[in-house]
A and B are shown apart, each in its own frame.
Chain A
Amino acid sequence: GQSLEQPSEVTAVEGAIVQINCTYQTSGFYGLSWYQQHDGGAPTFLSYNALDGLEETGRFSSFLSRSDSYGYLLLQELQMKDSASYFCAVRDRTGRRALTFGSGTRLQVQP
Chain B
Amino acid sequence: ETGVTQSPTHLIKTRGQQVTLRCSSQSGHNTVSWYQQALGQGPQFIFQYYREEENGRGNFPPRFSGLQFPNYSSELNVNALELDDSALYLCASSPQGASTDTQYFGPGTRLTVL
Report Cα–Cα, A87/B45, bound state, in Å: 14
Q: Does B12 contact A (CB under 8 A)?
A: no
Q: Does B73 contact A (CB under 8 A)?
A: no
- Name the residue of chain B whose CB is nearest to the CB of A95: B56
Q: Which residues of chain B come closer than 8 Å to A87, judged between CB atoms?
A: 42-43
- Name the residue of chain A whose CB is nearest to the CB of B34: A98
Residue of B48, B56, B100 touching A48 (CB-CB under 8 A):
B100
Residue of A30, A45, A98 touching B33 (CB-CB under 8 A):
A98
Residue of B50, B90, B102 touching A45 (CB-CB under 8 A):
B102
| Count of residues in A whose CB is under 8 Å from the partner chain | 25
The interface centre, meaning the residue of A31, A44, A89, A99 with most chain B CB atoms within 10 A of its CB, is: A99
B107:A98 contact, CB within 8 angstroms = no
| Cβ < 8 Å to B, chain A residues 44-60 | 44-45, 48, 50
Interface residues of chain B, those whose CB is within 8 Å of chain A, are 4, 31, 33, 40-45, 48, 50, 55-58, 90, 92, 94, 98, 100-108
Interface residues of chain A, those whose CB is within 8 Å of chain B, are 30-31, 33, 41-45, 48, 50, 87, 89, 91-92, 94-104
Contacts A/B (CB < 8 Å), 20 sampled: A43-B90, A43-B105, A45-B102, A87-B42, A92-B45, A92-B58, A95-B56, A96-B50, A97-B31, A97-B48, A97-B103, A99-B33, A99-B43, A99-B45, A99-B103, A101-B44, A103-B40, A103-B41, A104-B40, A104-B41
